[in-house]
Amino acid sequence: MYKYSEKDKQIVKNRTKEFSLQVKRRIDGYLTEEEFKPLRLMNGLYLQLHAYMLRVAIPYGELSHQQLHKLAEISEKYDKNYGHFTTRQNIQFNWPKLEDVPKILEELANVEMHAIQTSGNCIRNISCDHFAGINKQEVEDPRPWCEIIRKWSTFHPEFSFLPRKFKIAVIASENDRAAMKVHDIGLRLIKKEGETGFEVYVGGGQGRSPFIAKKIKGFLKKKHLLNYLEAILSVYNELGRRDNIYKARIKILINELGEKKLKDLVDERFKKFFEKKLTLGVTELEEIKKSFQLPFDKNIRSEVPKIKNKDFKIWRDQNVLNHKYDGHSIVMVSLKQYGKPPGDASALQMKSLSEIAKKYSYGEIRVTHEQNLVLPHVLNSNLYSVWTDLKKIKLATANIGLITDTICCPGMDYCALATARSIPISQKISQHFKNQLLQKKIGKIKIKISGCINACGHHHVGNIGILGLDKNGEESYQISLGGSADEKTNIGQIVGPSFTEDKLISAIETIIKTYEDNRLNLEDDFISVFNRVGIDKFKQDLYEKNNS
C-alpha cells in the first residue's frame, strides 16, 4: 500500500488546520453559508436532509486494516455507528456535526486519510479495478498510476475550479471492473509491440445525459501520461460550459465539439507540453511502484482445507476468486446482507473485518464500486477460518454478482437531491429474491438503483436499471434494460411507463421470467438474452402482466 511521504503528511495536516479555522469562522459568523459552502464541499462536507454528510476518500479503493479500524472508530465517536461505502469506492458518514468535522479530519490524517476533493468542481478520487495487482489478466498493476494521478491532481492550482466535477478511472485488463467508460477520463493500460502504454477514453458519464466515453488515443506512452491528462483538462477547463450546470461536464463538450475536434485540440495542446512539463522519469515511477509490492512470497503454495460444509462450499463458489498467485485467493465480502442497505457496514463489522484483514489478508482491504469489500490476499488454507469469522459478523452473504447484489444510492432517505427512495427498493428486491437456489438459477445479473436522475446508483448501466422519480408527489420507478458497466459498456433503454413502489417487484419478476423463458441454457446471461430477444419482447410481457 502507498505510504504518505513527509510532504503528503504535511499537505493533509495543513489542510486540516486550514479547514478547522474555516469551520470556526463559519460558526463565529465571519463567513456566510454562501462563502463557506465551496470551502466545505472541497473538504467533502455536504448538507443532506437530516444532517451534514462527510465523504472520505479511499484512494483507488485501497484501505489498510488500521484505516478501516479508524473509520469504525469515527463512526462510533462522531456518527451513528455505521458508514456507507459508495459507488466511487469512498465512504460516507451520514450524521457528523459541523463542529466535530475538524476533529474527524484530524483523526483521519493520523491514518493517512482525508476528505479532500471528494466533492466540488475538481478532480475527484481516482477509481481503479478492485483486483489491481492480483488478477492474472492485467498487463501491469494500475495502482501506481492511480497514485501518480492522485499526486498530480491534488490541489492542482489550475484545476481546482473546473466547470464541473471530474472523474478518472484506471484499469489494466480487458475486463472492466471499474466502470471505466462512464468516467470523464478512462485509462486502460495495454501492451503494444512489447511496450506498455495507455488507451485514453474521454467523455463518459451518467447523470441526466449518459454517454459512453470515446477513445481519443489508441496508445499513449506511459511517460507522457500527465502531459496528456494536463492537455485534456486544460482544454476542458477553457471550453467546458460554465453557464449551465447540466451542460458543464466534458461529455457534453465532446458531443458538442465532436470527437475529432476535441482530439485535435488535445493533441495540439499536448504538443506544447510534450517533454517539457510533466514527463515522468523512471526513478519516480520505480519509487512509487515500491509501495505496491505483493506482501507475500509468490512461491507460497497452500491448499483449501477439505471441509464438508455445504454453506462454506456455497460461499466459496460465489464469493471466492482465483488470485494471480496460486497459493492465495481473493475473498469478496458482500455488503448486501439480505434486507440491509447496500454498502452499509456497522462499526462492529468494520472493526472485526479490520482484525480479519490483519490476521488473514496482510492487513489489506479493497472497496469495490459495486459497494462490496475485498480481502485481496487470503492464503487458501485460511479460507475456512475467514468464512467462519465473516459469518460471525454477518458478512458472509454468498451473493456476489447475483440478483441481490444490487448497487444503490442513498436516495431520498438521506439525499437532498433525490426524488424518490432507493434503499427500501433494494431491500425489497433483496428479500424477495434471497433464496440461494433461485438466485443461482437466475445467475449473474446487475440491478442498479438511483433515487434521482443524477444516477449515483448507476441505473443507466444496470442490466436492470431502476430510477426513482417524483410523479405528482408520489414515488414512481422507471425501469431501463440492457445496460452494462463492464468491457461491453452500454446505456440501458427505458422500457416504458414507470411503476409505483407496490408494483415494482412484480415488474422485476416479469422481466426475470421473460429472461428465463428465452435463455438457451444456464450460461446464457441477461445481456445476451436481451440483445438477442430485444426490448419489445420484454416490454410486451411487462405491460401485459403489470399495469403501470
Residue 296 and residue 328 in contact, taking contact as beta carbons nearer than 8 Å: yes
**Residue 28, interface with other proteins (CB under 8 A)?**
yes
Cell of 263: 482530439
Q: How far apart are CA 321 and CA 174, in angstroms?
A: 17
**Residue 98, interface with other proteins (CB under 8 A)?**
yes
Looking at beta carbons only, is 335 or 374 nearer to other proteins?
335
Q: Which window, 157-165, 202-210, 301-309, 412-420, contacts other proteins (CB under 8 A)?
A: 412-420
Looking at beta carbons only, is 234 or 404 nearer to other proteins?
404
Looking at beta carbons only, is 49 or 285 nearer to other proteins?
49
Residue 506 and residue 458 in contact, taking contact as beta carbons nearer than 8 Å: no
Looking at beta carbons only, is 315 or 433 nearer to other proteins?
433
Min dist CB 92 to other proteins, Å, is: 14
Distance set, CA 215 to CA 185, 201, 222, 472 (Å): 10, 4, 17, 41
Q: At what angle do helices 65-78 and 101-110 cross, to 10 degrees?
A: 160
Question: What is the SS3 assignment for 423?
Answer: helix
Looking at beta carbons only, is 45 or 187 nearer to other proteins?
45
Residue 241 and residue 233 in contact, taking contact as beta carbons nearer than 8 Å: no
**Residue 50, interface with other proteins (CB under 8 A)?**
yes
Residue 384 CB partners (closer than 8 Å, separation 6+): 304, 305, 307, 309, 312
**Residue 115, interface with other proteins (CB under 8 A)?**
no
Residue 266 CB partners (closer than 8 Å, separation 6+): 202, 216, 228, 231, 232, 235
Q: Which window, 63-71, 83-91, 291-299, 413-421, contacts other proteins (CB under 8 A)?
A: 413-421
Q: Which window, 50-58, 123-131, 147-155, 236-244, contacts other proteins (CB under 8 A)?
A: 50-58
Stated as kind and residue range, the H or E segment containing 320 is strand 320-322
Residue 154 and residue 160 in contact, taking contact as beta carbons nearer than 8 Å: no
Q: How far apart are CA 43 and CA 9, in angstroms?
A: 16
Q: Which window, 83-91, 423-431, 487-495, 514-522, contacts other proteins (CB under 8 A)?
A: 423-431
Side-chain-facing half-sphere of 39: CA atoms under 13 Å: 21
Residue selected from 203, 343, 424, 492 as contacting other proteins according to rule CB under 8 A = 424
Which residues, numbered 463-482, are part of the site for other proteins (CB under 8 A)?
A: 473, 475
Q: At what angle do helices 259-273 and 225-239 cross, to 10 degrees?
A: 120
Q: Which window, 26-34, 81-89, 270-278, 360-368, contacts other proteins (CB under 8 A)?
A: 26-34
**Residue 29, interface with other proteins (CB under 8 A)?**
yes
Min dist CB 333 to other proteins, Å, is: 22
**Residue 33, interface with other proteins (CB under 8 A)?**
yes
Residue selected from 11, 357, 412, 464 as contacting other proteins according to rule CB under 8 A = 412
Residue selected from 26, 183, 377, 434 as contacting other proteins according to rule CB under 8 A = 26
Residue selected from 27, 245, 307, 522 as contacting other proteins according to rule CB under 8 A = 27
Chain residues that interact with other proteins, rule: CB under 8 A: 26-29, 32-33, 47, 49-52, 95-99, 341, 412-414, 421, 423-424, 427, 473, 475
